């Protein structure tokens, strides 16, 4: 038997994977800008984040179209089929994470130039941001390496994000004494919530890695069955 096989198809599939995982890089860059804008209350940078989301949306459409073509023309099976199905999920999560960055960026003008900040709450949020960034990066690595252990480790970081998110909520309750501060704290709760969702999306990508490798889909952590 020759070892040639479907070289052209394999090249196409590899390209599609690079395109989808490249979407994760776009998210990381966007998340960096978002957190920077938040840190410096940089409304200009926030508006760049908002407008740049078109690129992530464009990537989503490209990958989705590529997947449809591959399914229609090449009829992938077995692990190739699992990769294609997983990439469709990955690119959806990429698109969602991009939207969460936009949600955060849109809060900046709402809170104004000199908001009545609370350092404890901000510290929590920036810590969440760093963790989310590392999670997103790790989800890409897990996919590239087809490594289930690396994927499962995402849950550990996600638990920490969730814990901090609850901390942000508790802090908002504590400091919500005057109206301005209450408004600021509620906006920050939405920011924290958006970051927390990005972490969840990274875990979802990790679940797709496990699906690609094992052929079984299972949720790493189930929000409806909290232990």
Partner 1 sequence: MTALALVAAKTVQVTDLNLYYGSFLAVEDVNITIEPNKVTALIGSSGCGKSTFLRSLNRMHELVPGARVEGEVLLDDEDIYDADPVSVRRRIGMVFQAPNPFPTMSIYDNVAAGIKLNHRRVKKAELDEIVERALRGAHLWDEVKDRLNKPGMGLSGGQQQRLCIARATAVEPDVLLMDEPASALDPIATLAIEELITELKKQYTIVIVTHNMQQASRASDITAFFNIEAAGRPGRLVEVDTTEKIFSNPSKQETEDYVSGRFG
Q: Give the range of 14-22, 35-43, 71-79, 166-174 binding partner 1 by CB under 8 A.
A: 71-79
- b/e code 189-203 from CB counts within 10 Å (16+ = b): bebbbbbbbbbbbbb
Q: Return the closest-CA partner of residue 105 out of 186, 190, 11, 38.
A: 38
Size of interface with partner 1, in residues (CB under 8 A): 17
CB nearer partner 1, residue 9 or residue 126? 9
CA distance 9 to 14: 9
CB nearer partner 1, residue 77 or residue 179? 77
Q: Which of 44, 72, 78, 114 binds partner 1 (CB under 8 A)?
A: 78
Does position 6 interact with partner 1 (CB under 8 A)? The reply is yes
CB nearer partner 1, residue 13 or residue 154? 13
CA distance 42 to 37: 4
Q: How many CB atoms lie within 10 A of CB 217?
A: 13
Does position 210 interact with partner 1 (CB under 8 A)? The reply is no
**Which residues lie near partner 1 (CB under 8 A)?**
1-6, 9-10, 75-82, 215
């Amino acid at each position: 038997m020759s070892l040639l096989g479907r070289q052209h198809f394999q090249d196409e599939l590899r390209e599609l994977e690079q395109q989808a995982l490249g979407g994760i890089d776009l998210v990381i860059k966007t998340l960096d800008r978002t957190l920077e804008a938040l840190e410096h209350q940089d409304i200009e940078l926030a508006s760049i984040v908002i407008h740049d989301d078109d690129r992530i949306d464009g990537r989503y459409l490209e990958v989705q179209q590529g997947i449809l073509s591959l399914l229609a023309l090449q009829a992938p099976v077995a692990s190739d089929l699992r990769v294609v199905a997983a990439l469709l999920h990955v690119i959806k999560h990429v698109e969602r994470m991009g939207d969460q960055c936009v949600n955060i960026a849109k809060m900046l003008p709402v809170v104004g130039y000199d908001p009545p900040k609370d350092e404890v709450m901000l510290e929590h949020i920036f810590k969440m941001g760093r963790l989310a960034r590392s999670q997103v990066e790790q989800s890409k690595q897990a996919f590239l390496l087809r490594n289930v252990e690396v994927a499962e480790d995402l849950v550990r970081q996600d638990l920490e994000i969730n814990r901090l998110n609850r901390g942000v909520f508790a802090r908002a309750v504590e400091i919500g004494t005057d109206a301005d501060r209450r408004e600021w704290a509620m906006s920050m709760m939405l920011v924290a919530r958006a970051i927390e969702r990005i972490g969840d999306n990274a875990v979802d990508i990790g679940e797709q890695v496990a699906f690609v490798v094992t052929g079984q889909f299972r949720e790493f952590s189930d929000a409806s069955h909290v232990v």
